[in-house]
Amino acid sequence: MRKRIGGGALALVLMATAGSVEAGSWDERVFTHHVDFDAVAAAGSAALPGLIARGRELFQAKFTTADGAGRPKATQAIIPTKRKFGVNPAFSRLSGPDSDSCSGCHNQPVLGGSGDTVSNAFVSEGFESPEFDSTDPSFSSERHTTALMGAGLVELLAREMTADLHAERDAAVAQARASGKDVEADLVTKGVRFGSLKAHADGIVDLDAVDGVDADLIVRPFSRKGVFTSLRQFTINALNAHHGMEASERFGVRWTGSHDFGESGVPDAVRPGDVSALVAFQATLPPPTVKQNLPEDWRIAAAEGEKHFDELGCASCHRATLPLKSLIFTDPAPYDTAGTLRAGEVRKGIVIDLSKFPFAAQLKRNAKGEWLIPLYSDLKRHFVVDAEVADLGNELQAQRFVERDVFLTPRLWGVGSTAPYGHRGDFRMLNEIIAAHGGDARFARDAYLGLTKDERDTVIAFLRSLVIEAP
Amino acid sequence: MLRWSLGALALLGLAATAAADPVALNSDVPVMLEEAAAAGINQTYDGGWEHFVGGGGAAFDCDGSGFPSVFLAGGKNPAKLYVNKSKRGGPLKFVEKPIAIDPKLLTHVIGAYPFDIDGDGRMDLFVLRVGENLLLKGGPNCTFTLANKEWNFGGDEGWTTSFAAGWEKGQKFPTLAIGHYVDRFAPGSPYGTCEENSLYRPQPGDAPDYSVRTPLTPGYCALSMLFTDWNRSGAPSLRVSNDRQYYRGGEEQLWRIEPGKPPHLYTRAEGWRHVTIFGMGIAAGDLDGSGFPDYALTSMGDTKIQKLDRDESERGEFPVYRDIAGQMNATAHIPYAGGDKRPSTGWHSEFADFNNDGLLDLFIAKGNVAQMPDFAAFDPNNLLLQQWNGKFAEAGDKAGIAEKAPSRGALIDDFNLDGNLDLLVMHRTAPASLFRNLGASDGHGGVIPTGNWIEIRLAEPAPNRDAVGAHIAVKIGVRTLMRTISVGGGDASGHMGWVHFGLGTAERAEIRVQWPDGEWSYPYRAFANQFVVVDRTKPQAEYWYPGR
């Protein structure tokens, strides 16, 4: 997969922009051509290098007004929403559109990574008050840029976890109906417990005891709050919110009656194949690694710190690894809903076998042959605030049904390369973010603070060894 | 190709233009597969003059499975009950189950409406007949017993062509409104001999008691009735759509029904305007999220879409309506296919979201009364899909529901619980059709998934367990989708059970319920593509899953 992309592979995935006027080679547009989803899917693995390369280009591209950037008459909302009045400014640091390219934020230490605090985003639902010029959390929730390294593996984990949870629910419902009695079922997948449910004989399911996952039992592994199901959904949302680039599968004529919902002057600005290119690029980003060739003192301290990390209980949420059965990444994804391309909307999907990528060779496997993904997360949401420890409780808005003091367990792989820390990057040092853990994580945080200074330093040494390195 | 490609879009757009349709069809077109015979449904509505009208049925869960079964009128043929045996997302499957009452009572049935009259948690039926009407009390496993005597109901004999029911404030049991057609035995019949209608208010006691009849006079040959809270006053009025073919000096009617007071017919002085149509079927729906219901009234010729004139009505003080069917491209006055340019004859009408795009569509059953030469012979049913510009575009033929058989009543329900609304259409002199909604057309002969959806069932303590009269508001983004749980309307056809909403691209929805007593619930959060039970006694909305 590392070989240079030949002209033939690129040509395979590109199709001319409908109705475009031939321009010179100095054309400023990003979308002089669109990716042909069907051609890519039909071509199979032969088209993947070109698709990923195009995805990399799009990830770095600065979208222009001629590409449709800006959504002048629409908001950043995930459901197509018109502005009530006025026109969006071309750029608004707070309410968006707030960046020209994906890589404007996702760039540290490498393309697709995290970002400096200066690139924090201010997310709002975009419905009633889409425009705001204040960082006050009454209006938006501030977000530090998350790194996308290993995102394909993360999505695959979430898909398998969702399938497990749905199977457990369905089994409980079937058993309750058959027996005529209530059936309680633990919701456990990959060793992570998501509470329990109670199925009644009439088919009603009591979900009050479900924990850390949405009521539809779909594990949403992306965003700080865990509200995006797939890279595809995340990509479509982000293209609109941050760049004002509207994907036709969400903002197109099927769901809005218009080919140019945001009135940018460019119909169907982002086509399904273009989204797939961005998805393929992100899905194949290599996962973070453990820093090699550490100085001897760091190596010893990190080994000691890893033990403490386990003993303190940090690993109860920051699971060192989660097992993954398959590395076959399919696009479209199985649990997306209307507005994000679904498998039933294409004749054939794009298949990316992540086991063919060099990073797969670095992944360990368990006795069952499952791949052990070292993400240091349980992909579950937790309360991280309590009455005494509330530094992370700085939000005033729930986000897509997720209460304000609840966050997805951050993946710590690469944490040594993604300072500052916390959902909005409030903490410059690892010790500070650990000390800010309250709520469900309070016991581990207290145990950590109960260590000696030297012992705490070893935990930092361990975390600092989890890095994102240039491929 | 992508199953719903840009190319297909262009083709659709061109097709719409070529057909000189003033409104381009940009939305998904549902693919409706007719499979009545394969599904085991075999019922024909037939008979003489008395059965030129009617031809309805009821859809409701009679076995606790969550799947809607159907009771279908037959006119001179016996009415039949078909128990739904479909599996989720699969082909439709029904099995006929005999109804253990005097078989004679199952003939000359016009239609039926399902609701839980006695609050025992099982659906009962009001069966409209030529002759004695029936109250059928629902029992376990889709069994029924005749309850006219038990509930002191005399049957309100006549030619019953419409019905509505609702719970008045303070009443334990529902009030019944019964609409009659022509008094066949009056001198000069049929012209100018419309029979008066009836209102039955429950009498005090622990069981339904419908021994006291209140006349609703004058009657103007009512073919559809609906209790509807047109001004959100909390006290639904009774809308009656009347057939001007037989009345003299009549018009459409709106009765003020206030608890403890005699029914009062709205007058000119109170804002009600003189409208005369061949009123056949009432549909109510909030088309634009205004909070006030709009009404589709079928007729011979133009269908009316009546919208409350917010200015003239003094914001709901007076029932002043204006017809917006023309501006919405929803008059449906002549057949859209087949070439017959004579006026249409509309019967059942109902608002529903067939393609789950979040916009209410309008289904109209069409069919010549009986070889009336001035009206279209081939008169296909309409599927008017609402577009994002607020107008309707015809898609009946593209969806596959443009039938030759003359249609009457209809049941729009999700018979296989896949989130897509299916359609059962009753025909006069021909077997009923049953269309399974497979999803959206991809423009190339294939099918793709429609938009997101949610189906909601309300529950509150007896007596009004199904919360008849409640309003459900589903908020997605900046839009609020409204539905009302009601018994009545259409053409002698009604359904009770899951209330369906198309959600378009929304993955989450916020549900609020205004319960029949006027109290608003707090918001319930729910994810798309789920069956949700909102039980007034429980703090959270609950999810429900079918067992097959």
Domain ranges of chain A: 2-146+231-283, 151-206, 289-325+370-467
Looking at the partner chain, which of B451, B533, B545 has a beta carbon nearest the beta carbon of A338? B451
Tell me if A338 and B389 make a contact (CB, 8 A cut-off).
no
User: What pLDDT shows up at residue B435?
Assistant: 98
| Sequence-separated contacts (24+) of A308-315 with Cβ below 8 Å | A308/A448, A308/A451, A308/A455, A308/A458, A308/A459, A308/A462, A309/A459, A309/A462, A309/A463, A311/A447, A312/A444, A312/A447, A312/A448, A312/A451, A312/A459, A313/A443, A313/A444, A313/A447, A314/A444, A314/A448, A314/A459, A315/A376
State how far residue B360 is from chain A, nearest Cα, in angstroms: 14
pLDDT at residue B315 greater than cutoff 90: no
Q: How far apart are CA A219 and CA A164, in angstroms?
A: 10
Instruction: Check if the beta carbon of residue A235 is closer than 8 Å to that of residue A35.
Output: no
State how far residue A256 is from chain B, nearest Cα, in angstroms: 6
Of B164, B144, B82, the residue nearest B424 (C-alpha): B82
pTM of this structure: 0.95
Looking at the partner chain, which of B27, B505, B533 has a beta carbon nearest the beta carbon of A79? B505
Residues of A in contact with B528 (CB under 8 A): 337-338
Q: Which of residues 169-228 of A touch B (CB under 8 A)?
A: 169-170, 173-174, 177, 199, 202-208, 214-216, 218
Tell me if B545 and A169 make a contact (CB, 8 A cut-off).
yes
Within A264-347, where are the H helices?
Answer: 272-283, 296-312
Tell me if B504 and A257 make a contact (CB, 8 A cut-off).
no
Omega prior to B218 cis, within 30 of 0: yes
Burial B226-251 (b: 16+ CB within 10 A, else e): bbbbbbeeebbbbbbbbbbbbbeebb
Task: Note whether B208 contacts A: Cβ–Cβ < 8 A.
Answer: no
pLDDT at residue A19 greater than cutoff 50: no
Residues of A in contact with B533 (CB under 8 A): 204
Q: Which of residues 506-545 of B touch A (CB under 8 A)?
A: 506-508, 525-530, 533, 540, 542-545
What does the pLDDT look like over B118-147, one tens digit per residue?
Answer: 999 999 999 999 999 999 999 999 999 999
Looking at the partner chain, which of B4, B389, B452 has a beta carbon nearest the beta carbon of A337? B452
User: Percentage of chain A with pLDDT > 90?
Assistant: 89
Q: How far apart are CA B380 and CA B363, in angstroms?
A: 11
User: What pLDDT shows up at residue A399?
Assistant: 87
Q: How far apart are CA B431 and CA B434, in angstroms?
A: 10
Mean pLDDT, rounded, for A174-192: 97
Residues of A in contact with B527 (CB under 8 A): 214-216, 218
What does the pLDDT look like over B160-196, one tens digit per residue?
Answer: 999 999 999 999 999 999 999 999 999 999 999 999 9
- For B501, other C-beta atoms within 10 Å of its C-beta total 27
Question: What letter does residue B468 receive in the DSSP assignment?
Answer: T
Residue with tokens 């009443």: B171
Tell me if A81 and B477 make a contact (CB, 8 A cut-off).
yes
Residues of A in contact with B540 (CB under 8 A): 207-208
Mean pLDDT, rounded, for B233-244: 97
User: What pLDDT shows up at residue A22?
Assistant: 59
Q: How far is CA A338 from the centre of its chain?
A: 19
Task: Note whether B452 contacts A: Cβ–Cβ < 8 A.
Answer: yes
What does the pLDDT look like over A337-371, one tens digit per residue?
Answer: 999 999 999 999 999 999 999 999 999 999 999 99
Task: Indicate the pLDDT class of residue A396, thresholds 50, 70 and 90.
Answer: confident
- CATH 3.40.109.10 is held by the domain A289-325+370-467: no
Instruction: Check if the beta carbon of residue B134 is closer than 8 Å to that of residue B125.
Output: yes
pLDDT at residue A173 greater than cutoff 80: yes
pLDDT at residue B396 greater than cutoff 90: yes
Task: Indicate the pLDDT class of residue A1, thresholds 50, 70 and 90.
Answer: very low
Residues of B in contact with A218 (CB under 8 A): 527
User: What pLDDT shows up at residue B371?
Assistant: 87
Tell me if A204 and B533 make a contact (CB, 8 A cut-off).
yes
3-state secondary structure of A417: helix
Mean pLDDT, rounded, for A12-19: 55
User: What pLDDT shows up at residue A397?
Assistant: 86
User: Percentage of chain A with pLDDT > 70?
Assistant: 95
Tell me if B4 and A345 make a contact (CB, 8 A cut-off).
yes
Of B88, B66, B14, the residue nearest B548 (C-alpha): B88
Q: How far apart are CA B270 and CA A168, in angstroms?
A: 60
Instruction: Check if the beta carbon of residue A63 is closer than 8 Å to that of residue A100.
Output: yes
Average pLDDT, chain B: 95
Contacts (Cβ under 8 Å, ≥6 apart) of B340 = B334, B376, B377, B378, B379
Tell me if B449 and A256 make a contact (CB, 8 A cut-off).
no
Q: How far apart are CA A301 and CA A303, in angstroms?
A: 5
User: What pLDDT shows up at residue A282?
Assistant: 98
Output the DSSP codes for B9-21: HHHHHHHHHHTT-
Tokens at B115, concatenated = 């609701």
User: What pLDDT shows up at residue A24?
Assistant: 83
Tell me if B452 and A77 make a contact (CB, 8 A cut-off).
no
Q: How far apart are CA A95 and CA A142, in angstroms?
A: 11
Looking at the partner chain, which of A81, A199, A401 has a beta carbon nearest the beta carbon of B478? A81
Task: Note whether B1 contacts A: Cβ–Cβ < 8 A.
Answer: yes
User: Percentage of chain B with pLDDT > 70?
Assistant: 96
Residues of B in contact with A129 (CB under 8 A): none
What does the pLDDT look like over A66-113, one tens digit per residue?
Answer: 999 999 999 999 999 999 999 999 999 999 999 999 999 999 999 999
Mean pLDDT, rounded, for A252-268: 98
Tell me if A79 and B504 make a contact (CB, 8 A cut-off).
yes
Mutation to test the A interface, candidates B507, B508, B532, B537, most A Cβ within 10 Å: B507
pLDDT at residue B440 greater than cutoff 50: yes
Q: Which of residues 329-368 of A touch B (CB under 8 A)?
A: 337-339, 342, 344-347
Q: How far apart are CA A183 and CA B532, in angstroms?
A: 19
Tokens at A414, concatenated = 């690469």
Task: Indicate the pLDDT class of residue A15, thresholds 50, 70 and 90.
Answer: low
User: What pLDDT shows up at residue A129?
Assistant: 80
Task: Note whether A254 contacts B: Cβ–Cβ < 8 A.
Answer: yes
Instruction: Check if the beta carbon of residue B308 is closer than 8 Å to that of residue B230.
Output: yes
- Give the A:B interface size as CB pairs under 8 Å: 121
Q: How far apart are CA B129 and CA B112, in angstroms?
A: 9
Residues of A in contact with B504 (CB under 8 A): 79, 255, 338-339
User: What pLDDT shows up at residue A4?
Assistant: 36
Task: Note whether B233 contacts A: Cβ–Cβ < 8 A.
Answer: no
State how far residue B246 is from chain A, nearest Cα, in angstroms: 44
Q: Which of residues 17-76 of B touch A (CB under 8 A)?
A: 26-28, 64, 66
Tell me if B545 and A255 make a contact (CB, 8 A cut-off).
no
Tell me if A347 and B546 make a contact (CB, 8 A cut-off).
no
Give whole-number Cα distances, A430 to A305, A448, B314, B334, in Å. 13, 12, 64, 73
User: What pLDDT shows up at residue A451?
Assistant: 98
Least confident of A10-19, A230-239, B421-430: A10-19
pLDDT at residue B230 greater than cutoff 90: yes
What does the pLDDT look like over B406-424, one tens digit per residue?
Answer: 999 999 999 999 999 999 9
Task: Indicate the pLDDT class of residue B434, thresholds 50, 70 and 90.
Answer: very high
Mutation to test the A interface, candidates B357, B387, B388, B478, most A Cβ within 10 Å: B478
- For B444, other C-beta atoms within 10 Å of its C-beta total 15
User: What pLDDT shows up at residue A7?
Assistant: 46
User: What pLDDT shows up at residue A165?
Assistant: 98
More confident residue, A247 or B12: A247
Residues of B in contact with A37 (CB under 8 A): 2
3-state secondary structure of A192: strand
User: What pLDDT shows up at residue A433?
Assistant: 98
User: What pLDDT shows up at residue A130?
Assistant: 86
In B, minimum Cα distance to A201 occurs at B547
